[in-house]
Amino acid sequence: MDQTSGTSQGLWGRWRAMMLWKQIFIALGAGIVIGVILNQTGNEAAATAIKPVGTIFINAIKMLIVPLIFVSLVTGMTSMHDMTKMGRIGLKTVALYLGTTAVAITIGLALGVIFQPGAGLDMTASAAAEAQEAPTLVETITGLVPTNPIAASADGNVLQIIVFAIFFGLAINLSGEKGRPVRDFFEALSEVIYKLTAIIIAFAPYGVFALMVWVAGTYGLDLLLPLGTVIGAVYLGCAIHALLVYGGLVKFGAGLNPVRFFQGVLEPQMVAFTSTSSSGTLPVTMTAVQKNLGASKGVSSFVLPLGATINMDGTALYQGVCALFVAQAFGVDLGMGDYITIILTATLASIGTAGVPGAGLIMLSLVLTSVGLPLEGVAIIAGIDRILDMARTALNVTGDSAVTVVVAKSEGELDVEAYDTPHVMDAPKLSEAIS
């Protein structure tokens, strides 16, 4: 008996020590297997019985949305308080970052329409989560400005919260020294909110397991194919965006050889792919962009950290694919106004997305909420999120690097000779950069 409890403690200990993404992955696999078995043996009721555990997880994510988006956007804005000093460079950078992000999400939406990853799933959402009637374009635009920010928060109106947060952050910056205590307060608050996010994300394996058992128990094997399609669409989208948008930007925006660009960003891409954190990859990106691609220290040390914070093309593209997956799976028709809302929300939300593993998944719930899509979809995506995070983070750092190269070139701050000389970062430099 002692031995048995020793073994189970050992298993529990190993489970606890396991990295979160592995736990989620195992939870997903176990949930699918158990759900399919329950489905095949006619025990759908048992699969439904476990669903409340997943519902608690979804509720906890919902609980985070308003404070997370507001606080992280305000701190995102206040961290850009030097922008006036940076003037032209700042404007160019932000315009390129937001422009490429909008293109990325459009590619994601297009792939979602072409691949139809959620088609035929025929899921039903809880009544409260059903989509509301789509607003018109004019209604969407006029509705961006909240008449009452508290009401916007209570209603979970994401776009209005984003707009209010941007103005609020700007006002803090403009208030200078007098506004400083508010800025410090929001910085501290953002730490608390990130901790809260980490606590809730730690619960993800159990929520994912319960929801996968329920989903696979209810829908059987029909679910597997669509998830594979989501992965394929996101990876394809990332490749298209990198080659066409960044390749084009480097070639036509800066008159440089795109092949050299892709050679030069290989290391940060690999670190991003495995670490799934663009903030964590920043030292490597910085070293590669300066040493391999010849961008000046001045430009790259402003443009890259800003990019690691506000530029998330891979994340936006993924949100486009996933939003359509959820809409198709739950049979919700999206209109033109919804697509525009998704593009706007994902572009603006990318400013507030932290460059840490899994942040895009939380932001996905914002995007879904903005067009009234059911949040059950987030939990389904959560099971494969690590695989998607790898590709989107690699694209995120590639985008930061491409914009840095283009801005540096336009400012005469790029050493073209260094750019054209193929040389790969050597091992000691790389490890120095990471440490």
- Cα–Cα distance measured from residue 364 to residue 376, given in angstroms and rounded to the nearest whole number: 11
- Under rule CB under 6 A, residue 290 binds ligand ASP: no
- Cα–Cα distance measured from residue 309 to residue 303, given in angstroms and rounded to the nearest whole number: 10
- Cα–Cα distance measured from residue 205 to residue 264, given in angstroms and rounded to the nearest whole number: 37
Residue 91 buriedness (CB in 10 A; 0-12 / 13-18 / 19+): exposed
Stretch that binds ligand ASP, among 44-52, 114-122, 260-268, 348-356 (CB under 6 A): 348-356
- Cα–Cα distance measured from residue 322 to residue 267, given in angstroms and rounded to the nearest whole number: 28
Residue 27 in tokens: 């939870």
- Cα–Cα distance measured from residue 129 to residue 377, given in angstroms and rounded to the nearest whole number: 11
Contacts of 135 (CB under 8 A, 6+ apart): 143, 337
Min dist. Cβ of residue 393 to ligand ASP (A): 4
Residue 361 in tokens: 């998944």
Min dist. Cβ of residue 395 to ligand ASP (A): 9
- Under rule CB under 6 A, residue 392 binds ligand ASP: yes
Min dist. Cβ of residue 389 to ligand ASP (A): 5
Query: In this chain, which of 338, 389, 400, 413 binds ligand ASP, going by CB under 6 A?
Result: 389
Residues in region 398-417 near ligand ASP by CB under 6 A: none
C-alpha distances out from residue 197 to 68, 164, 393, Å: 8, 22, 19
Contact between 23 and 15 (Cβ < 8 Å): yes
Q: Cα 355 from chain centroid?
A: 8
- Under rule CB under 6 A, residue 278 binds ligand ASP: yes
Count of all residues that appear for the chain in the document: 435
- Under rule CB under 6 A, residue 360 binds ligand ASP: yes
Query: In this chain, which of 357, 372, 374, 399 binds ligand ASP, going by CB under 6 A?
Result: 357
Question: Which residue number, 218 or 345, has a Cβ lying nearer to ligand ASP?
Answer: 345
Question: Which residue number, 165 or 364, has a Cβ lying nearer to ligand ASP?
Answer: 364
Min dist. Cβ of residue 111 to ligand ASP (A): 17
Min dist. Cβ of residue 246 to ligand ASP (A): 15
Min dist. Cβ of residue 381 to ligand ASP (A): 11
CB count in 10 Å sphere of residue 150: 9
Contact between 172 and 375 (Cβ < 8 Å): no
Min dist. Cβ of residue 282 to ligand ASP (A): 10
- Under rule CB under 6 A, residue 365 binds ligand ASP: no
Contact between 405 and 248 (Cβ < 8 Å): no
Query: In this chain, which of 108, 355, 372, 374 binds ligand ASP, going by CB under 6 A?
Result: 355
Residues in region 299-328 near ligand ASP by CB under 6 A: 312, 315
What phi and psi values does residue 9 have, to the nearest 5 degrees?
A: -65, -40
* Residue in the shown chain whose Cβ atom is closest to ligand ASP: 360
- Under rule CB under 6 A, residue 393 binds ligand ASP: yes
- Under rule CB under 6 A, residue 372 binds ligand ASP: no
Residues in region 218-277 near ligand ASP by CB under 6 A: 276-277
Contact between 234 and 390 (Cβ < 8 Å): no
Residue 14 in tokens: 């190993």
Min dist. Cβ of residue 335 to ligand ASP (A): 26
| Size of site (CB under 6 A) for ligand ASP | 16
Min dist. Cβ of residue 357 to ligand ASP (A): 5
- Under rule CB under 6 A, residue 190 binds ligand ASP: no
- Under rule CB under 6 A, residue 359 binds ligand ASP: yes
Contact between 72 and 249 (Cβ < 8 Å): no
* Chain positions contacting ligand ASP, by CB under 6 A: 276-278, 312, 315, 353, 355-360, 389, 392-393, 396
